[in-house]
Structure 1
Amino acid sequence: MPSRRRRPAVAGGLGIFIILMLVASAFFLDSLPILGAGSKYTAEFSEAAGLKASNEVRIAGVKVGKVTDVSLDGDRVKVKFDVKDAWVGDQSTASIQIKTVLGQKYLSLEPKGTERLNTKDPIPLERTTSPYDVIDAFSDAGRTAGDIDTEQLATSMETLSAAFSQTPDNIRASLDGVSRLSQTIASRDDSLRTLFDATTKTTKVLADRNQEFTKLISDGASLVQELNERQRSIAALLTGVQRISQQLTGLIRDNEAQIGPALDQLGGVIDILKNNNQNLAKAIELYSPFVRLYSNIVGNGRWFDQVIVNAFPPGLPDIPGYREPIRTLGVDPVRSPGA
């Protein structure tokens, strides 16, 4: 009996463990070779040139994978990368390319060969190319120029010019020019140092703002795409307007015999209205008091006030006793019948 009670607990624990393993493996589906991570290759370079893990791998400008690792292997750099849904030949070449003006890199592949490249065989150093980093070159040039003793250089040039003072005129003139050039460089030493310092700071600021510039370029691409969409919409609208104008033109041509007399009659109506313009204005002017009076009458809601005058005779004063009629039909009102 105790063993039977423990079995459900063991099964429940095993089920929870399996569920946890499935949840954990869901975060690493891209790394599983069977589920679509792609084929894993290796390339050898003379230098990394700023290439980092997670950088893109492209073939003919299309992203086909990503760099997984960049490490030093003796006198060369070993770059490991994944390629998905793309063919890589046994004579393929690889190069590190500059993706943006701010120095972001990507790995470019050029598939060559007749057979597929074995994943165990790296692309050798002879078929790889590293880029020339302009930013590092300028930084190195700035540091080198900053380390030069310009005053000593100017003194050396002056000594050299004095030593060759007895040489022919053309050589002496050239040396004098070199001397003046060295003096000019020495006099501009502070300016050159300031310029190189500013260049270094500008390079650092641009490198720090790499993501912002990348987003700006992406937003610019979205803006251009939206403008293209608007352009296509406007072109479709103009095409529709052109079709409507063609339909209207055909309609007018088909009904020209009926439209002509109708337009003539409309012109006659307009002439009549022009001739009676003053009468219409007078009628509107006279209609205005009626509208105001009628508005006052019916302005109490769903009913209006109306007075009927002289519908009944005026009331007579109450006088007691009998009164003779003022007039009797057929009788002289002056004389009575018995007179």
Structure 2
Amino acid sequence: MTRLRPLISWGVPILLLAVVAVVSFTVAPWRSADEYAAEFTSSRGLYVGDDVRIMGVEVGRVTKIEPRGDRVLVRFDVDSERRIPADAHAAIVAPTLVSARFVQLTPPHTGGPELPVGATIPVERTAVPVEWDEITEQLTRLTTELGPDDTDPQGALGEVLDVAAANAEGHGPALRDSLQQLATAMRTISDGRHDLFGTLGNLQVFVEALSMSGDQIVSFHDRLASVTEILDANRDDMGAALAGLDAVLVDVERFVRDNRERVDTTVDRTAALTETLAAQRDGIAQVLHVAPTALSNLQGIYQPAHNTVVSALSLTNFANPAQFVCSALAAAEQVDAHTASELCVQYLGPILPLLAMDYPPVRINPTRGVGALPDQLVYTEPELMPAPGAPSPASLADLLSPGAP
């Protein structure tokens, strides 16, 4: 009795746990799979207990097949740890003609929305395999249509073969040459595939450039349309201008034909003159460079009153006394120009600018007399002409003469 007490104390709890486990698995079994359904147009060859796979891996079993009018509802369980995407597709797959079929779910879940437990995949996202008897039925129908019958012992296929044989008869060498040329062309295309791909790539770049330049193309099109409108609005004037140009060209052609020898002579002389001018190009450039200054000086020393050219006394050193004085000091001291300029600026710099003048402050020029008489003066502006009672330029010249009071 003493020995049975420990056994009873341990055995009773273990027995109670076993009873609870059996009751829990029989009355309220533990679910290790989630149930889904899919609609198919046919479930031929599919049975309860067949596999449900994802990418060929078994993940569940078909639990029930229910006919629903023109559709079949297939219920299946999938392991709870497996997830099915919300847009999943289902297909009945037949690996071979004699093997069992299974339901394939695709694509695998890699993230995103999931198909709720208990949801049904609609028939729009399911597919069934083509049955072998359907294939044989179509083949039988095709052979019956193409084969011979009571009215046509040759059949449509036989007629096609006869026509093809008749057309190809005697053209074997031509067909061979055509095949050889086709092979050569394909080989050429294959050898130049890199250039072809490069051309396509450049064409893509060109198309992208056109796409990016859409605004410029539209602007060019608008401007071209404006030019076209202007030409259309002035088509009468343009027609008249072209007609006049045609008449002018006829006259030019007649002139050239009648004066061909003279034109040739003129062209030859012009060529000779051009060669001479080209040979004397440096001299002509020198003349053109010096002539404006010389003519300006000539105009300055010409006196209309005496109708002669006279000289004029011009003391230019007074316009730049700094240069005149500083150069004289440099010559006297016998130093270089840089040192002389520094000494001159240092000692005489503030004073020399005060001595600058265009002409000496003397009211007479002993080398020149009266430049022009009153009747030889031409005024550019009428208001510059002196009044009737004002002294004339000749009187002013007399006033400025040495003997004037």
Which TM class, normalised by the smaller chain length?
A: 0.3 to 0.5
Larger radius of gyration: 2
Question: TM-score, normalization: structure 1?
Answer: 0.34
TM-score, normalised relative to structure 2: 0.29
